[in-house]
Structure 1
């Protein structure tokens, strides 16, 4: 077996091993079952909420005094939220932001699919909401400060829009007047300003807080490559906590509630992140706060909190604190603008870029830029592939030149083998001298293949986690490049009147679509640039490799398969042209014909082993 074939086999086997390991560890995502829209129960019996922040005593120490749990706000008055991108409402019971629909995003690609519902009220099947309040200190009790069930009144405004903020007010009847000003921008950012006016003759001690709570364990993708749960920035540290880890958190705040508590000095935020959506509490940059991740075992509630420092409000004075709430889609451009314009540290890292962030980030930026120019994500992936191949072309050129020179050295290699006989050491020394003399590096042919592996994984990550690829159309049947190929041999790629098998099933694996089929053909043609190796083991590996990849990658996102087909096509063209420019003329069609011919068995001549007539 010559060194060129050894290197090619090594590179191919290594690529196959890595991608096979990836496929086994991180299988393609099965199509999620779209949950039914949450319906609101009319009963007054509701689950308990997570325990709110503890009270602050007169000395400023923390106490574990609980407050009243939120009740269902089905019958409570509501304040509408209307913007070009979201619709929802705020319950005046507790002032909770607890219904929100994303108008730009539907649950499926079907034309009549309902909008994605991000938040839902207490009493629904999966309550998910944000609320704000104050913890009392000094002589104040929980009845003296607004909490989860406080009945607020509207002081100003009728509908919350980007142009019209609203102000809620509540008078505790003991000389403290609380207000909550709510604002929203054109995208997904709320601004919440909590204030208290002290009309008594004694100072008030109290501390504001913000909460986002989720009742019951959320439905998650459950895919190893993706983090879903809590993501938070604690000054200079980005932390991720899975839902499954929350019941085992270290600190027991009170009976039935476990918490992970971090003191943030200047810059931070904390939120629940799903695959494409996020709800995040963001204190004003530069202000200290306590970041809390909490799980209430008795009610199966997951909760995040931002607790702000205790403040003292003197008689006749007022005090306020401003925070933000992001509730919407994890759009890269939108989140990046918030990071830049509002000073939210590392907010763009709320998108799960993964271990290869140094590749996934620039790859996504390039893809996003191309999509802005072209306006079609499928053609943008093709253009991105051309860009990547252009960047790697100098390395690929050296590799293909080296392979062409190796072809030219074949006669010399055969002579070395004849002279060396069975002396392997002499053969290796002769080959090394020949390589050095002709300035050929036999390992250089592997490098482009090895470089493709992290690029392949990074692009897969980008296609899987970024919302810009969700429901991104190409043409014809390819209306969602983040999903597997919707065509199938089962219905002759749409010519027959029945639907293709559901992605993730055995039938879908067997009856593959047109894109995986093109992938296998492109890999097979790439092999035919060179004659089949003489060694039977090598022949078998080369014969099976394209079709193994075809079935293995058939369940992956169709955008990734588009990239791989384009990459193979460009690689074939580059290698063919470069090899011809160096005097080697690949006989592609001859190699294809020879691969279909059966080898005749060798016939021994003479002796007892000769075949008898």
Structure 2
């Protein structure tokens, strides 16, 4: 086996192994539904019992609580912007009903709008709640809790131009207000204030919390995508799976699995899904304590920002601003919040992975091309062309080296005959020949080795970014983030029936794009004659079709990239090898691959 073929098989095996790893899926754990548990006080505030309305053992067992029923029956104020719709419950002042107007569940025109936040008592409830933990001069009943019924002052619809003001008088001389505003995208600003009209000073600590009931039902559980909790500190970011939160040690006061961390500023925390996220974002210079906790009895996950204790003298007032992002993980929107709203490293809420130094610029270029062209499929093809131009100098050296190796083939055969069975002499002679002719036998595998991180990075970009979701190309390719929907079983739509769920046999339901991928790889092989070794012949003969079946279930956008890459590689390699004196006989190699081998050659 010559060195060129050894290197090619090694590089192909490496890329093959990388793709196999991507098929590892983690099974999702079962989730249980149940409602809200309010936030804890800061450590410096005297530990208080949980707010009123905490479910009893009886209501916990039934999966329904009075709190959930009260939230369902409570009055609401409307959220109405171009991009958001929903409502805020006056029971607790919860932001718990939010729909993303620009996105639908499926490609069907009649498909429901994506519902992101949902009230307590509904399946997979998910909401934001704000409040105060009591300190000196206050009892738990004298601060707003999860069950406080707020009243509305003034405007009763939240729009980008009209904030809403919620108010509550505790009957003890303190008036609490919560002013909620929202911008043209997904960023809410929540101002919490307290006016102390009592006879003495009070101390209390504000907090914000995101509560999620059970794990999301639509989790991908794919190891290249982080779905769960995120915490950005002043310097480092921490990603936690839901199982990580459940594994925290039990809190001796609250009986929950909890972990707290002090954040000096420039931080945010919350939960991220595949395409959507909710993040609590204090002001940039605001110190806070981050708490992630899990209640086994309620199966609730919470992300809590606890702020330092405030002391408010009689006749004085205090307030604090914080922000809430609740919406789609749009690259341009998130980047704008990072650059213009001072949200530190907010772009990293998108899971760029280990190859972030490649995935970030690759997506930025893809986004720019899509804006210029107006079609993500053609943008992927344009991206492929640009990437091939960037790596062309290395590819040129590689293909030139391969052409030179072909020229040296007769001399290498003579060295093999002269060396006989002396393998050491043969290796020494070949190394001297390589040195004399200035040929690097390892250069032939460079294009494939370079392709591995680029392919992985593009796969990551196509899989995790929202911009590829439901993005059409042309014809039958209506979603580049999903596999090719055509199927060989109904002759790619020519037969009048639709292919349903085939289970295990789905891998054989090849679409047009995977078949084109296999053909493009097969043609690329035909630039060189088939190797003489039978084992090599078998590997090379099966390789394009194995990849065709493997990648048939991958996102169409990735297959488009690979086909384009193969076509450009074929043209480059053919032109460069001819330039250096070797003329690939593509049609001759194709014909020879269909010839029946003599029996003595097959032995």
**Could you tell me which of 192, 195, 213 is aligned with 1:194?**
192
- 1:226: Cα distance to partner? 1.1
Match in the other structure for 1:125: 123
Q: Does the CA-based 8 Å contact 1:26-1:225 persist in structure 2? A: no
Distance 1:602 1:285 in 2: 77
Distance 1:499 1:557 in 2: 20
Distance 1:55 1:383 in 2: 53
- 1:24: Cα distance to partner? 4.2
Match in the other structure for 1:606: none
Q: Does the CA-based 8 Å contact 2:137-2:200 persist in structure 1? A: no
Distance 2:384 2:114 in 1: 32
Is 1:362–2:354 an aligned residue pair? Answer: no
- 1:9: Cα distance to partner? 2.4
- 1:82: Cα distance to partner? 0.5
Distance 2:420 2:541 in 1: 30
Deviations 1:116-153 (A, max 9, x none): 00011112122111111111110201111111111111
Q: Does the CA-based 8 Å contact 1:402-1:440 persist in structure 2? A: yes
- 1:95: Cα distance to partner? 0.8
Q: Normalising by structure 2, what TM-score?
A: 0.94
Match in the other structure for 2:51: 67
Q: Which region of structure 1 is more displaced relative to structure 2, 242-251 or 319-328?
A: 242-251
Is 1:19–2:6 an aligned residue pair? Answer: no
Distance 2:556 2:373 in 1: 19
- 1:464: Cα distance to partner? 0.7
Q: Does the CA-based 8 Å contact 1:378-1:559 persist in structure 2? A: yes
- 1:260: Cα distance to partner? 1.1
- 1:306: Cα distance to partner? 0.6
- 1:47: Cα distance to partner? 4.4
Match in the other structure for 2:61: none
Deviations 1:432-466 (A, max 9, x none): 11111111101011111111111111111111111
**Could you tell me which of 39, 51, 56 is aligned with 1:52?**
39
Q: Does the CA-based 8 Å contact 2:45-2:205 persist in structure 1? A: no
- 1:10: Cα distance to partner? 2.4
Match in the other structure for 2:145: 147
Distance 2:192 2:18 in 1: 54
Match in the other structure for 2:86: 88
Match in the other structure for 1:392: 391
**Could you tell me which of 579, 591, 598 is aligned with 1:581?**
579
Match in the other structure for 2:114: 116
Distance 1:51 1:92 in 2: 16
Partner of 1:456, secondary structure, is: helix
Give the alignment's Cα RMSD to 1 decimal.
1.8
- 1:339: Cα distance to partner? 1.1
- 1:169: Cα distance to partner? 1.0
Distance 2:76 2:269 in 1: 27
Is 1:242–2:229 an aligned residue pair? Answer: no
Q: Which region of structure 1 is more displaced relative to structure 2, 9-18 or 342-351?
A: 9-18
Partner of 2:593, secondary structure, is: helix
Match in the other structure for 2:458: 459
Partner of 2:192, secondary structure, is: strand
Match in the other structure for 1:100: 98
Match in the other structure for 2:271: 272
Any unmatched runs of 5+ in structure 2? 54-66
Distance 1:399 1:47 in 2: 61
Partner of 1:267, secondary structure, is: coil
Distance 1:521 1:269 in 2: 49
Q: Normalising by structure 1, what TM-score?
A: 0.92
Q: How does 1:594-613 map to 2 (within 5 A)?
A: 594-602=592-600
Q: How does 1:502-541 map to 2 (within 5 A)?
A: 502=501, 505-541=503-539
- 1:595: Cα distance to partner? 0.5
Aligned residues: 583
Match in the other structure for 1:36: none
Any unmatched runs of 5+ in structure 1? 31-45, 604-613
- 1:50: Cα distance to partner? 2.1
Partner of 1:260, secondary structure, is: strand
Q: Does the CA-based 8 Å contact 2:41-2:205 persist in structure 1? A: no
Q: 1:507 to 1:312 in 2, by over 3 A?
A: same
Q: Which region of structure 1 is more displaced relative to structure 2, 81-90 or 240-249?
A: 240-249
Deviations 1:229-269 (A, max 9, x none): 11111221101111122221025143531111111111211
Deviations 1:506-528 (A, max 9, x none): 33211211111001000000000
Q: How does 1:388-537 map to 2 (within 5 A)?
A: 388-502=387-501, 505-537=503-535
Distance 1:131 1:428 in 2: 72
- 1:75: Cα distance to partner? 1.8
Partner of 2:599, secondary structure, is: coil
Q: Does the CA-based 8 Å contact 1:174-1:200 persist in structure 2? A: yes
